[in-house]
Structure 1
């Protein structure tokens, strides 16, 4: 196969060389040179030189030709080095770089698929709890407790919202729409949508945000981020009659939104890892309801939107999350 490829590649070169020799001999013929034996000798010497050159060239390229004519069995075959000429060295460098790009894309896709699968399995497991509670409520002979049903429905709705946002995160740029957002309006809307969560846990929100405070963000994604922060603040405030304080301040071109709770706080050993995917930590094990994805998704969305995101916490005192808008 290597020889056939070499001949196909150089047949035009041989014909061109023969054409040049014939052209030079025709010039001598027109100039009056009529010695046929010299002409034949010249053609034979030219052919010998051409064949010798091509033979040497084939010998140097044999291993490379064999490599590219045999179909690879694995992607690692692209890393073999058989080049002898600068052109083939460059070709092999190109293939090796292409292999590295391919490997990187495969690893990214594999990590994304693995994360999605793991999250979905964990999410399905979490959704079994509210469904089981609803089944128990329906089996009771007493009148249906609508408040309890609503709590479980709200839990399922929050779970569905998270899994949908996780799916959309893969195509975030297509779904993003930056606009001027009234910060007080979106914070109040988020709190009102989760008022049953506050009432059930007997935690009270307080907001201190100026009316005309505007930030550049995506209202849908920003609301999702705020839901994660507020839900965590309520979920990890075990004592009743505690507060969640939401404030916003403007300093120059920056606006800082702060969400502070009076909950159990985050241990220092967990603080640097709470934004990693599937990390539940000590607090997550206490509630048994954490997927470890809420703060991870919030962190990813903040990075894509260009918002800075910081967490400060002290065990027994509470947690403060600061979101900075440029």
Structure 2
């Protein structure tokens, strides 16, 4: 703080040095001042300046600390604290208040617009889900099995995009929309596999699923979303007539791990650190117009919110293994206490 004050008052110090130099020159050149002790004058001036300097340092630094100590409060409160601002400081302070007021107004307007956009988008998604449900029911009336399978696959892709948009819109308020409970992994995984049935039949993809008798403490709805994104990627990038393996294990710390292994094209080594970044499609995504780069990004961010860790191991042309690590009891307590 002292160095800051010295920098702020360099003009004072420079002017004092200038005055001392001028006086010493005058005492030297003026014969009428020969009898006056130049050292006495210098010492008096120096002591007076130091006392004045210390006084201003105590007053101004005290004002600054008082202001910084209340920086989180409304700026108007500083006036009520009688900070004894100088006219220049008061002018600066008034300008700062005006700027803060304008920026707060703009920020509040932006928040209102964003909330309105979010509400409109959620309403649109819910409106779209109604005709999608009706279309799904009408698909059962199509007698041509091949055509029905094809339409079911396209319907599923559209449903997944709408579902992804719905969860993306809700993500900002996930803390208000999560419910931690003991969830059986088998229930979640099998439900998501059944939802992908039409797509899997079209590509001839099967599932080799372990018993999955483990129960984990998590949010069932958001966990289903994470599994859905990983399974859709596994199906999308796996070759026809391949198999997806789903199994669990326990790590040395005692945490439950859920593995989802596909036999797809794999992920390049240079892409691995970035696959969870927003809109990053990677090498494989440039070869497929269906990639948006949002699925894994949302899955990773949702997982962080509910305490699940996602990791991936992959070899090009040999497939990928996505692993979900569920929190231990003590980790869960920290999570719910945030």
Q: Could you tell me the TM-score, scaled by structure 2's length?
A: 0.58
Given the alignment of the two structures, is residue 259 of structure 1 paired with residue 284 of structure 2, yes or no? no
Match of 1:68 among 85, 93, 111: 93
SS in 1 for 2:270: helix
Given the alignment of the two structures, is residue 187 of structure 1 paired with residue 189 of structure 2, yes or no? yes
Residue aligning to 2:53: none
Measure, in 2, the Cα distance between the counterparts of 1:274 and 1:70.
46
Is this contact kept in 2: 1:209–1:249, CA < 8 A?
A: no
SS in 2 for 1:229: helix
Is this contact kept in 2: 1:307–1:325, CA < 8 A?
A: yes
- Once the two structures are superposed, residues 114-165 of structure 1 have per-residue CA deviations (whole angstroms, 9 ceiling, x without a partner) of xx99xx9xxx9xx9xxx9xx9xxxxxxxx89332222221111100100000
- Once the two structures are superposed, residues 43-100 of structure 1 have per-residue CA deviations (whole angstroms, 9 ceiling, x without a partner) of xxxxxxxxxxxxxxx997110122334576645x99xxxxxxxxxxxxxxxxxxxx9x
Is this contact kept in 1: 2:149–2:198, CA < 8 A?
A: no
SS in 2 for 1:180: strand
Is this contact kept in 1: 2:267–2:316, CA < 8 A?
A: yes
Is this contact kept in 1: 2:178–2:219, CA < 8 A?
A: yes
Given the alignment of the two structures, is residue 165 of structure 1 paired with residue 190 of structure 2, yes or no? no
Residue aligning to 2:246: 246
Q: How much has 1:226 moved relative to structure 2?
A: 0.3
Residue aligning to 1:206: 208
SS in 1 for 2:317: coil
Measure, in 2, the Cα distance between the counterparts of 1:315 and 1:323.
21
**TM superposition outliers: structure 1 runs of 4+ over 3 Å:** 68-75
Q: Could you tell me the TM-score, scaled by structure 1's length?
A: 0.60
Segments of structure 2 that go 5 or more residues without pairing to the other structure are: 1-82, 136-143, 328-338
Measure, in 2, the Cα distance between the counterparts of 1:71 and 1:301.
39
For the aligned residues, what is the CA RMSD?
3.4
Measure, in 2, the Cα distance between the counterparts of 1:276 and 1:317.
23
Is this contact kept in 2: 1:177–1:218, CA < 8 A?
A: yes
Residue aligning to 1:31: none
Measure, in 1, the Cα distance between the counterparts of 2:181 and 2:84.
66
Measure, in 1, the Cα distance between the counterparts of 2:85 and 2:314.
68
Measure, in 1, the Cα distance between the counterparts of 2:295 and 2:262.
17
Matches within 5 A, 1:1-326: 61-69=86-94, 74=99, 145-211=147-213, 213-237=214-238, 239-251=239-251, 253-326=254-327
Segments of structure 1 that go 5 or more residues without pairing to the other structure are: 1-57, 79-98, 135-142
Measure, in 1, the Cα distance between the counterparts of 2:246 and 2:96.
63
SS in 1 for 2:160: helix
Residue aligning to 1:92: none
Is this contact kept in 2: 1:279–1:292, CA < 8 A?
A: yes
Number of residue equivalences: 218
